[in-house]
Amino acid sequence: MNWGQIVYGTVACFVALLGIAIIFDVPPKKLPWAMLGSLISCVIMLIGDQLGIDPLITNMAATALPCVYCEIMARVLKTPTTIFMIPALLPLVPGSRLYYTMFYLFSGEQQLFMENMLAAVKICTGIAMAIIVVTGAVRWIEAGKRQRAQNAR
Amino acid sequence: MCYTFVVEISFSEGELSMTEQISSTVLPYDYDDVLDTILDIGCRLLEAGAEVRRVEDTVERLCFAYGAHDVDVFSIVVLVGVTVEGPNGDHYTQIRKVGSIGNSLVRIEKLNALSRRLCACPEDPWEVKDEVKRICAKKTYSDFLMLISAAIAAGGFAMFFGGSWTDGLVAAIIGVLIMVLSLYTPAKVNGTLKTFVTAFVAGAAALGACAFVPNTSPGEIMIGTIMLMIPGLALGTSLRDLFGGDMVSGLLRFVQASFTAAIIAAGYGLAWLTFGGVL
> Residue B69 gets which letter from DSSP?
S
**In this predicted model, what pLDDT tens digit does every residue of B203-257 receive, in sequence order?**
999 888 888 887 788 888 888 888 888 887 788 778 878 877 788 888 988 898 8
C-alpha to C-alpha distances, B106 to A67, B12, B27, B112, nearest whole angstrom: 19, 41, 31, 10
d(CA B39, CA B248): 20
By the 8 A CB rule, do A16 and B152 touch?
Answer: yes
Q: Tell me, what's the ipTM? A: 0.86
By the 8 A CB rule, do B224 and B166 touch?
Answer: no
pLDDT band at B67 (very low <50, low <70, confident <90, very high): confident
- pLDDT of B53 reads 86
d(CA A25, CA A31): 9
d(CA B194, CA A143): 43
d(CA B7, CA A146): 37
Give me the average pLDDT of each 10-residue run along chain A (153 residues). 83 89 88 90 88 88 91 90 85 83 85 91 87 86 88 80
Asked if B233 lies within 8 A of A86 by C-beta distance, the reply is yes
Q: How many CB pairs under 8 A join A and B?
A: 157
- By C-alpha distance, the chain B residue nearest A99 is B223
By the 8 A CB rule, do A120 and A94 touch?
Answer: yes
- The whole-model pTM stands at 0.81
Q: Is A93 on the interface with B (CB under 8 A)?
A: yes
- pLDDT of A114 reads 92
